[in-house]
Amino acid sequence: MKEQHPNHVRSIHEETVKQERDELVMRTYNVFFARVLHLVAQTVSDLCQVLKIDEGVVEMVWSVLKVLLG
């Protein structure tokens, strides 16, 4: 019985460490993709202004890009 207790504690610790690592990875991904999305938004906005694209078309372009990046 005493041998199971340390293994159980180790198992709980390992699971906690794994969960913390997974959460850190997800936060890192979220930051990365938020930056990518911001850069895409800025680029699309700049291009559409330079090309004098109608606002309705800009909204359609942005809708497509959100689907593709989402």
Gap between the Cα atoms of 54 and 37, Å rounded:
21
pLDDT digits over 44-60, tens only?
Answer: 999 999 999 999 999 99
39, 65 in Cβ contact below 8 A? no
pLDDT digits over 8-48, tens only?
Answer: 777 888 888 889 999 999 999 999 988 988 998 899 999 99
Residue 54's pLDDT is 95
Gap between the Cα atoms of 69 and 64, Å rounded:
9
| Domain that residue 28 falls in | 4-69
Total domains in the chain come to 1
Identify which of 44, 68, 37 has the alpha carbon closest to the alpha carbon of residue 58.
Answer: 44
Provide the 3-class DSSP secondary structure of residue 4. helix
Residues 6 or more apart whose Cβ sits within 8 Å of residue 53: 47, 61
